A and B are shown apart, each in its own frame.
Chain A
């Protein structure tokens, strides 16, 4: 994939998220919102390798993964608004985005909640004799959860086609990584015999390259691999976070290594015309304006829809309605 295509998706995520922040603060998006701004190069660099038949699991900070894998921004924005044509008909929301057509097995409101599901998706592919890999995204907060350790063990034991992607943005909510973990990540991963690579998560080409290297082993049936992308979230843990756990100076320094500006600079240096980038950016702005307008004009779901979709098969007649 060309850097220009990667840049387009990173730009889409950045500007989608900026709109989400504004709309949330304006009271148009209900719930909690966790923005992906600053981490775009990770989702885009990894998921550029997504092929139909692959799967992914995401996190509470999942908008970037969804957009990078090609979820329709209109249906996604409508979901964030809680509207009827949302990708989950308004039953999921920001932390529970699913898209069966793109193998998206969910953002997840539980830290590390997607890890066992990803391992199982890999197991399912194995049992069914299907090609495909599972991209399993999680943050550094997930390193404290037992399911990460169990999942690494099981995936390694059974050589399952899972790429574990740690987005180390240095904070689990407000707690720094070193304050809450006694181990070094490479030591943990290699203890399970799982190949480990790290990448500068502000450099989309580096993430792309490291992913390619790890994936070639997975697609050949050698079992799981682990990518640690060092990244930083420019915004708070959630919209409204007072951010008392880090200094303004630290954030300013990190922002100087902006993955979007980095990619744009490289494109210009490689001879891509300014005009070409501006045209691309304008197309993305139009797409996103359309997504917001679509969400705003979409109807709320019928309240009775709340009682549907629990089961795939009917559960019989409940004359009084609710179970």
Chain B
């Protein structure tokens, strides 16, 4: 199978969906002329014109609200938010408006809206360009939240997000953009709400998504060298969460570690750990461990940044603690 980058995979997804459905359009800061800060919009204005690929002023609240308004009248906007940190500028439009409007209308309105938000820490970008904010949006009822880890899923999930009738927050870790992976030439979709066991194992389950999934896979490889068979589950979609896949895996292994780059305190891992313990209490051989960022803003200096973010060694250490329970 051919290999393309994560950024190119998302570009293909948008190109295919825009060709398929004239209601789909893109907007964001620096996407048309510049092609996106990671090249993920390159070539699209040439093919679809500046009516459908729009450079915008720096007006996040109005951009989110406008994407919502366009969705309400039947268009299918894909809004790029430059850096996920900037979602925080538009919290009224996200939380009070986009997430709630269908519900408040008694189910009469539809919100086919995609918000792309590059998140995560990369190359000492510092506290305003490094956050992973999925926990905020999982806490708010009304968003579907996806966080792909591979080019194949990046493309298939973005296509599904664009076809969804509901607001989808598409979180893409900036460190993933240049990574290559196999992506089929022929058209495919990756459904929202499905996790996947990407490495089978019987001794414990490592649960992760986005960039941290690759760290979990490295940890699994290191554990294999020590004779431990770690199963790795890629969540892919964080809401709705694929509890069936998750529960089945942990029921089998009896031990679990949840790892993500978002803050550990009240992060997605906290909810997942609590639910696994509620549902599988008698099957668990150890408490579910959580790995996440330390509870500080993401610092600038490389050794400080490294200390705060979850590393392969942190996942390995958590796995060993979980395995130590008898």
Contact = CB atoms under 8 A, between A and B. Distances in A.
A124 B74 contact: yes
B75 A119 contact: no
B244 interface: yes
B166 interface: yes
Interface in B163-177: 164-166
A145 B56 CA distance: 19
B1 interface: no
Contact of B108 (A88, A90, A108, A122): A88
Nearest to A99: B108
A297 B103 CA distance: 24
Interface in B275-304: none
B68 interface: yes
B210 to A, nearest CB: 20
Contact of B66 (A110, A154, A308): A154
Interface centre among B59, B73, B74, B111, by most chain A C-beta atoms within 10 angstroms, is B73
A91 B74 contact: no
Contacts of B201: none
A151 B63 CA distance: 9
A115 B97 CA distance: 11
A100 B109 contact: yes
Contacts of A319: 243
A92 B101 CA distance: 9
A120 B69 contact: yes
A88 B104 CA distance: 7
Nearest to A128: B75
Contacts of B72: 55, 105, 117, 120-121, 124
Contact of B103 (A91, A120, A121, A157): A91
A194 B160 CA distance: 39
A146 interface: yes
A100 B111 CA distance: 12
B317 to A, nearest CB: 31
Contact of B102 (A89, A113, A153, A310): A310
B183 to A, nearest CB: 25
Contacts of A105: 69, 72, 109
Contacts of B227: none
B318 to A, nearest CB: 26
Contacts of A269: none
B255 to A, nearest CB: 22
A158 B57 CA distance: 11
Contacts of B52: 127
Contacts of A120: 65-72, 77
B240 interface: yes
A25 B319 CA distance: 61
Contact of B166 (A117, A158, A313): A313
Contact of B70 (A113, A121, A151): A121
A112 to B, nearest CB: 9
B92 A313 contact: no
Nearest to A109: B96
How large, as a class, is the contact surface on chain B? 35 or more
A311 interface: yes
Residue of B54, B63, B64, B104 most packed against chain A (CB within 10 A): B104
Contacts of A124: 69-75, 77
Interface in A72-99: 86-92, 96, 98-99
Given A150-B61, A153-B59, A323-B141, A123 B105 contact: no
Contacts of A108: 97
A123 to B, nearest CB: 5
Nearest to A84: B106
B57 A153 contact: yes
Interface string B94-124: 0011000111111111110000000000000
A123 B61 CA distance: 15
Nearest to A108: B97
Given A88-B106, A128-B23, A116 B66 contact: yes
B61 A147 contact: yes
B236 interface: no
A316 interface: yes
Nearest to A153: B57
B221 interface: no
A124 B76 CA distance: 8
Contacts of B75: 123-124, 127-128
Interface centre among A55, A147, A153, A318 (most CB of B within 10 A): A147
A106 B69 contact: no
Interface in B23-63: 23, 25, 51-52, 54, 56-57, 59, 61-63
Contacts of A309: 102-103, 105-107
Interface in A234-287: none
B35 to A, nearest CB: 20
B242 interface: yes
Given A147-B62, A310-B141, A110 B69 contact: no
Given A115-B65, A147-B65, A316-B242, A154 B59 contact: yes
A106 B105 contact: yes
B97 A110 contact: yes
B43 to A, nearest CB: 20
Contacts of B68: 116-117, 120
Contacts of A96: 104-105
A220 to B, nearest CB: 19
29 contacts: A86-B106, A88-B104, A88-B106, A91-B104, A92-B106, A105-B72, A110-B97, A115-B62, A117-B66, A119-B65, A120-B67, A120-B71, A120-B72, A124-B69, A124-B72, A127-B25, A127-B70, A128-B23, A128-B73, A130-B73, A150-B62, A158-B54, A308-B107, A310-B103, A311-B165, A315-B144, A317-B244, A318-B243, A319-B243
Nearest 9 CB-CB pairs, A to B? A116-B65, A120-B69, A120-B66, A309-B107, A124-B70, A89-B106, A315-B240, A98-B105, A312-B165
